[in-house]
Chain A
């Protein structure tokens, strides 16, 4: 595989993680909808909001891939908020799941996106 490269592939890595995150949110949104059939109208509404957010995250990933500067900022903000929210959920004594999947999806994934997009060298690749 002759792949001598001149550009950082960090945006492509961040795109893959954002795509994964959007798929996870899509699954969460879809799984909430059946509860609407059982009369939980708020949960169904939240499911629809989650599906919209999943779509937006996928589009955000594509914008990161295209190296749009605004997308980098939005992605960094989104992931920092996700990390803070997830950390609170994991640390508070509310019985939230603290298994390896929760740690990977809710902490490692957003931290990895932040790490990939953070440094100045990566920033210079965005326009």
Chain B
């Protein structure tokens, strides 16, 4: 949902073309100046969304003729409404088409017929904006018809459609992640599918070298003395302790100098779970000696707050809570020295049951 499906990129061009065409031609309508600016803006936005839908037809035509036909009907209907803004039932027809289009998209995404992406979400935002502009009553209208209904429709439909869009896109993205997304907010390095014997040996070597190198840090005082400092609240199940000197130096997968250590926050103090190697730059995945066994991962679109080094996920509408900013963390690779039954020694996460068991002992 945070990326543009390459096959949908043409939709952005279609939308821009629609915008230029709308701004250039709709003003030639003889009654353009006789309607409120909100109606004119809604008409322009409907041509934009028409442009997006029409541009997507060629790609879908071969494999999804029904979808292409719906895109064609949708695009033509939006254009027809955009040029008939003086029609008596224009608001009702526009609201109906806009609501149906947004719900239709959500049904497609929910049913797995379409993957949620930036082009889809952006188009829905334009349609919801057009809906609000089409419905909002304006001062000075000579025909003050159905104003209370329009207010009610606007007050209910806009929040509902935005929340439904966000929830559907988010749920689908989490339930059916991209193959490279192992969990929310993390993207895995591309590797071969099955490890070769040489890669298995290399992964084993990395594991044993790292485990031996960080053994002294089982006593957290030693880690502190070496320059590792905890980040985040110690009320969380585990904490990453980072060594800024090693981060700045940019050591690459050096078992003697891992950029981070991970400790479980147990009632009897920090218990070492493993090490974390981190690359210096975003999108620069590190060496991958174990192939799929030692794939690095990068956290993208996470909202991080400097207050206690805590994070959440960016919404589908590209927002974070106030005080948090959207960032991507440079690629990292964990080496878990405790048994991690769910994902193994190089998994993105440690199983919560492992941390809970350590806390009980």
Which residues does A use to contact B, with CB under 8 Å? 1-10, 12-13, 15-17, 19-20, 23-29, 31-32, 35, 38-43, 46-47, 49-50, 53, 89, 93-97, 99-102, 104-106
Contact = CB atoms under 8 A, between A and B. Distances in A.
B354 interface: no
Given A20-B125, A35-B311, 8 more contacts: A9-B138, A23-B159, A24-B319, A25-B322, A26-B159, A35-B310, A49-B323, A95-B329
A3 B142 contact: yes
A54 to B, nearest CB: 10
B63 interface: no
B101 interface: no
Q: How large is the interface on B (under 10, 10 to 19, 20 to 34, 35 or more residues)?
A: 35 or more
Contacts of B34: 3-5
Nearest to B170: A31
B322 A3 contact: no
A99 B133 contact: no
B252 to A, nearest CB: 19
17 contacts: A1-B39, A1-B86, A2-B143, A3-B35, A3-B143, A10-B37, A27-B162, A27-B166, A31-B321, A32-B312, A43-B305, A43-B312, A46-B324, A50-B321, A50-B322, A101-B121, A104-B126
B151 to A, nearest CB: 11
Interface of B: 2-4, 12, 34-39, 41, 85-88, 90-91, 118-119, 121-122, 125-126, 128-129, 132-133, 136-143, 158-159, 162-163, 166, 232-233, 235-237, 282, 300-301, 303, 305, 307-308, 310-329
B305 A42 contact: yes
B55 to A, nearest CB: 14
A24 B321 CA distance: 10
A99 B303 CA distance: 16
Contacts, number: 194
What does DSSP make chain B's interface, helix, strand, loop or mixed? loop
Contact of B163 (A10, A27, A97, A104): A27
A95 B319 contact: no
A16 B137 CA distance: 11
A105 B37 contact: no
Contacts of A19: 132, 158
Contacts of A104: 122, 125-126
B138 A12 contact: yes
B14 to A, nearest CB: 13
B320 A28 contact: yes
B86 A24 contact: no
A20 B325 contact: no
A49 B132 CA distance: 26
A1 B90 contact: yes
Nearest to B91: A1
Given A4-B142, A17-B129, A43-B324, A9 B315 contact: no
Nearest to B88: A1
Contacts of B125: 20, 101, 104-105
A101 B118 contact: yes
A4 to B, nearest CB: 5
Contact of A6 (B85, B87, B140, B322): B140
A31 B307 CA distance: 18
Contacts of B121: 101
A46 to B, nearest CB: 4
B145 to A, nearest CB: 9
Contacts of B122: 99-101, 104
Contacts of A101: 118, 121-122, 125, 316-318
B162 A16 contact: no
B328 A38 contact: no
A40 B139 CA distance: 46
A92 B303 CA distance: 15
Contacts of B324: 32, 43, 46
